[in-house]
Each structure stands twice: as C-alpha cells, then as structure tokens.
Structure 1
Amino acid sequence: MPVNYEKVVEIVRLKQVVCESTLEMQKITSSFGIAQWLMDEIGNETQEVLMLLCLNTKNEVNSLSVVHRGTINQSIAHPRDIFQRAILSNATRIFIAHNHPSGSHQPSQNDCLFTEKIKQAGELLGIELLDHLVVTSNSYYSFREEGKL
C-alpha cells in the first residue's frame, strides 16, 4: 500500500500543540520582549516547559508551540522535536525557551549543552537559533545577551 505523504504531514501538523497568543505574527525585535511575555506565560509553571517560537524571514512569529513538559527540574527534548516543528512552519529562525520552577534563571550545564546542540543542528538545516531563554516568574537569562550564542 503506497504511503500518502500529504496525510503524514497533516498528521504531524495536527500533533503540534500551538498556543493561541497575541505574540503570533508579531515582529520580534529583542529577546527582552519575548522574555517578558514568557515570564507571564510559563514563569509560574510547576514543571519545566520547553517552548519554541518559529519566525519567518520578516522576524514575525508564525508558530508558537510547547515542545515538551517535563518534571520540576528537567525537560528532556530532542533536537528533532524542535526542528520538525520549525521545518513544518517554514521557519528561517527560532527562539527556544524554558522555565525554571526553582526560581533561578541561571542555566544549568545541561541547558548550555542543549543550546549548543540546537545551534549546531540549526546551522546544518539553515535555521538560525536566535536565542535560548531561561525564565522564571520575574527574571530571565538570555544566551544571546550573555554572549553565549
């Protein structure tokens, strides 16, 4: 039986969890603006939430999704989970972000390693990682602003 690839793509799209937000189709001009929105959106979550913002060539958010919900102190996601969504949304650039329920916005060693993996995978695919944000309810860490990207 032949595979209907159009249906496969539609099924994958349906599996995306997209957040309804005024952020979609907004032009992104800084990490600070996104961080402010994310502090309100996921800063108070009791488990780690990894989010992906996919941007088009005009730096407008064309897709916003929850990639993974983890435990109180970790969220395990694979680069393919991120780039599958980015490719399906025709993204040219992405932001990734997650919260730290502990209240500390400082990235862990695993956060740093994950950021480097995503950056390298993006370079191979032609999808630029603009920033990785770690947020709490009242603070954030930007890998870009700290010179780590």
Structure 2
Amino acid sequence: MRINYYKTKMVLVKENGMNYKVDDDFQVTAPDKIAKLIYELFDLQGEMQEHLIVICLDTKNKIIAVKTAFVGSLNKSVVHPREVFNFALLSSSASIIVAHNHPSGDVRPSQQDISVTKRLSEVGEVIGIELLDHIIIGNQYDELDVKYLSMREEKYLS
C-alpha cells in the first residue's frame, strides 16, 4: 500500500502592488493606448531583460488587472500559457492582451513571438478567454510617440 503524504506550510508574503488612476470610461480600444499604458506602469525604457505583461479585461474591455507574468533574458522570455491564463482566470477575465518589450528596440516579432502568440490564442479559445492582441514594445518612448507592433494589426492574430 502506498500513502502520499503532503505537508503544507503557510507563510505571509508581501505582495507589491499599486493603483493606477484611469478615467472610469477608459477602454482598451487601440494598441497605442496599451503601449503607452505599459510604458507608464512598467518603466521599461532601458530595461535589459524581456518582460511579458498580462492585461486582463472585463466584457467591456476595461482593464481589471495587470501583472508581469515572466521576466526573461536579453532576447528571450520563457512563456507558458498556464501562468498567463491562471492569472486571467483568477481575475475573472473575459479577455486578455499580452505585451512584452524588446530591449534591442526592434519591434519586429521573432519566430518565438509568433508561435507563442498562436499558442496563447489557441489555449484562450479552449478555455473561453480571448487573446485580443499581443503587443511588442520597443525601447523608445516619449509622450507623443511609442514604438510598438500589434500582432493583430500585422495579421499574426486573427
């Protein structure tokens, strides 16, 4: 006879968070809005590692939660749909947008970016949380101009 024994220990963990004020009617309607929001929330200018950020939306495309899901290396971030959609499920999201930076500044998608986008879209379809867009952000930003690429606008996402 085999008995599985599991021991659990509860520990208090400090979670860093902040509130970011947006207008009550702020809706995600365009990738440039998301790119600017990401720059303002996550000081990515000059960052030397890729950061993948998950933006959770309600049924009216209003943001309900935002989280850095993965931090990678200079030119690569390991992304697993399980962690992306776990956060989306816990946030009761209707849909998500993912965004990540390219420290090189070049916003053209890599083959890995394309395959991750496709995989996230497929998983989202299965569990009922639509991937609305995957936005790649360059490393230049000023209030008037954000260097970004929308995978949906470029037809990598249908």
Q: Does TM, scored on the shorter chain, surpass 0.5? A: yes
Counterpart of 1:73 in 2: which secondary structure?
Answer: coil
Q: Name which of structure 1's ranges 41-50 and 70-79 shifts more when overlaid on structure 2.
A: 41-50
Q: Where do 5+ consecutive residues of structure 1 fail to align?
A: 1-10
Distance 2:150 2:56 in 1: 17
User: Which has more radius of gyration?
Assistant: 2
Q: What amino acid is aligned across from residue 27 of structure 1 in structure 2?
A: Q
TM-score norm. by structure 1 comes to 0.83
1:140 aligns to what? 148
* Superposed displacement of residue 19, structure 1: 5.5
What is the distance in 1 between the residues matched to 2:23 and 2:92? 14
Q: Distance in 2 between matches of 1:86 and 1:60?
A: 14
- Distance change in 2, residues 1:46/1:148 (3 Å): same
Cα RMSD after superposing both structures: 2.3
Report the counterpart of residue 22 of structure 1 in structure 2: 21
Aligned pair count?
Answer: 137
Gap runs ≥5 in structure 2 = 1-10, 141-146
Counterpart position of 1:117: 119
Pick 1 or 2: higher relative contact order, CA cutoff 8 A, min separation 6. 1
Higher relative helix content: 1
How far residue 35 of structure 1 moved from its aligned partner, in angstroms, is: 1.4
Write the mapping of 1:1-149 to structure 2, written as runs, cut at 5 A.
20-22=19-21, 26-40=26-40, 41=42, 42-138=44-140, 139-149=147-157
Identity of aligned residues (%): 37
CA distance 1:85–1:73, change in 2 (3 Å):
same
Inter-partner Cα distance in structure 2 for 1:107 and 1:39: 19
When structure 1 is superposed on structure 2, of 133-142 and 79-88 the one drifting more is 133-142
TM-score, structure 2 length as denominator? 0.78
SS, match of residue 139 in structure 2: coil
